[in-house]
Amino acid sequence: MVNTDHTHVRDRHSSENFLILNNMKVVRVVMGVAIMGAVAGAIAGILYAPDKGYKTRRRLMAKGEEFRKDLRSRAETVRDDLSRKVREVKDKADELLRVGRKVLS
């Protein structure tokens, strides 16, 4: 007798989706904390080491550019990691579907 109860396949797929979504939330929180830390550090640096206006503006521009490059690099890393995870989950789901079809036929 073949077991036609496919809830275990659906439950596993739901669990993997939940883990991906949970990881995405963690990534957003970490990115938010990193951004806030960088902004706080830049502000503190300016307030505690005042300089002439043009020098301060140049330093702000340089820090902003450095921050932008760092943020872009981190975002690309996160995007690549998430893309890889999505591919892995899709491949696992495809494999489960193939196995399920084989069992049912």
d(CA 82, CA 75): 10
Q: Give the C-alpha separation, 88 to 20, whole Å.
A: 11
pTM: 0.47
- pLDDT band for position 85 (cuts 50, 70, 90): confident
Of 82 and 42, which is predicted with more confidence?
Answer: 82
Q: Report the pLDDT averaged over residues 73-83.
A: 87
Cβ neighbors of 50 (< 8 A, separation 6 or more) are 56
- Per-residue pLDDT band for 9 (boundaries 50, 70, 90) equals very low
pLDDT at 42: 76
Model pLDDT, residue 21:
59
For the record, the structure tokens of 74 come out as: 């981190």
Q: What angle do CA 10, 85, 77 make, to 5 degrees?
A: 155
Q: What is the rounded CA–CA span in Å between residue 96 and residue 67?
A: 43
